[in-house]
Structure 1
């Protein structure tokens, strides 16, 4: 199973993208989408600890792909990755250099048909 984490300054953005992706991929056992937008208390902003918790909740995934939108969303995702203590989890977690909506959508659709990380990243080159 591939885990996809959505990071933005707005929880509404990540929840909306999550809803759109889940509508497309259905109940695929091959992909799990998590929203890690906002600060966790309803404000705009980002929260590295919230992103870290999302990563840790996907420890059973074969790979964890993080998609962020702008600026500090990317920085907070990088900080969360730096805070991962489990070496195996750190190695399978990747911040993908792709647009949040298009990238996460393409990755989730690919993952839903049980693609490998390499196949998903090849698809990202087309986004």
Structure 2
């Protein structure tokens, strides 16, 4: 089963998204978080990302979901220096909450990394508020 890594500048945000994903996946999916800087402030930690990647590594692959752009750079740096063998890792450009929600459901269904990554990107299309345009 595909594993998920949530990388956020906030440890609390990462933990909350993980809790949500664990519930919707029925606890079937390995999910790790790398949230916040090493000193507990806002930021990201390349070392923590590397540890998480190793902890959840599996042959089906890892989908990484991020909050904002700087997190992608930290993940890319971690990937340059961690040895995961032949395990594929994909960084998703999906919105963090919606993408993680959809990825967790897809991964729990036993889908491939490509299918899980595609499902996460569908989060971009989720409409949360429906409004009628041009109301008088």
Q: Report the TM-score, using the length of structure 2 for normalisation.
A: 0.82
Q: Taking structure 1 as reference, are residues 59 and 123 closer, same or farther at Cα in structure 2, changes over 3 Å only?
A: closer
| The structure with more radius of gyration | 2
Q: CA RMSD in A?
A: 1.5
Q: Which residue of 2 aligns with 1:4?
A: 4
Residue pair 2:54, 2:84 contacting (<8 A) in 1 also: no
Equivalent residues, number: 123
What is the correspondence of 1:11-90 to structure 2 with a 5 Å cutoff? Answer: 11-28=11-28, 31-89=29-87
1:95 corresponding residue in structure 2 = 91
Describe the superposition over 1:75-127 as per-residue Cα deviations: whole angstroms up to 9, x where unpaired. 111111111234313xx111111111111111111011111122223323422
Check the 8 A contact 2:99/2:122 in 1, yes or no: no
- Segments of 5+ residues of structure 2 without an aligned counterpart are 124-136
Q: CA deviation at 1:61?
A: 4.4
SS of the residue 1:5 aligns to:
strand
